[in-house]
Structure 1
Amino acid sequence: MEKMLMISVGVFGVLCFLPFGDLQTTDWCKDAPDLNCWRYIDEKCIGAYEAWAREHCPYRCGYCPNKPPCVDTDTACAAYIKHDHSACSNPTTRAFMRENCRQECHLCHIPGEHSSPNTPPPGTPVPTDGLVKPAVG
């Protein structure tokens, strides 16, 4: 499913919806495709779980050089919260909200953001410009 990024531009409130696809832009450092790593609470990324998280959920847990941006990937996030004020913390909906409504729910913290990132395999080119670029395709 293609995700959209909403950008508000200028004084006139012009809105642009840009496809950004999968934000995991480092080929060698991304979450395991068979897991939905955003479903795991932050505590599953650190401490006794850090080694597992670095291997299976490095992007979500913040162990990649490129960190997940704090954006809402679902345009209805505000409506979800308006309908259910506890949507961001409700055990039934919080995993969905953590994955799709990070900005609206103020869930921008990345558990491993202050740890050293995973290192690329030998011979892997690493971008040096510091920009997070959308994945191709």
Structure 2
Amino acid sequence: MSTYLHDGIAFDLTRSFVDVIGVEWEWRGEWTASGEPLLVSPGLPESPAPLPDVYRDHGPLIPISLRPSAAQYRAAVDPDYAATVAAGYVEDHIAAAVAPVLTAHHLQPSPLEQTGFRGFIRSLQKDGA
């Protein structure tokens, strides 16, 4: 029996659950004397708790989606991964791209260069030199 019904909710015990603060809970095949599944947090393996207590104290319990395998990740990123590797593809094309180097002539002159306080200071420097 891998399904447990509690408060009208069917829990698939073959999956792990996460509570509202992010603690993961899983069933390891143990039951209480009254027939409730014992859930264990992998971080606290010494403290199993009945599913109804975990649901009441830490719930709601959200089933964790099955994690994709490495092959599924590769298929999502590159559906033809084997052909890409066989073709010898490497990511050196990014390093080969040359970014333009900006120099002072690319920038617009500041309006403060000709007027305002800087202009006044420059006029003093020219007169005093």
- TM bucket normalised to smaller: under 0.3
Higher relative contact order (CA 8 A, sep 6+): 1
Q: Normalization by structure 1: what TM-score? A: 0.21
| Structure number with higher strand proportion | 2
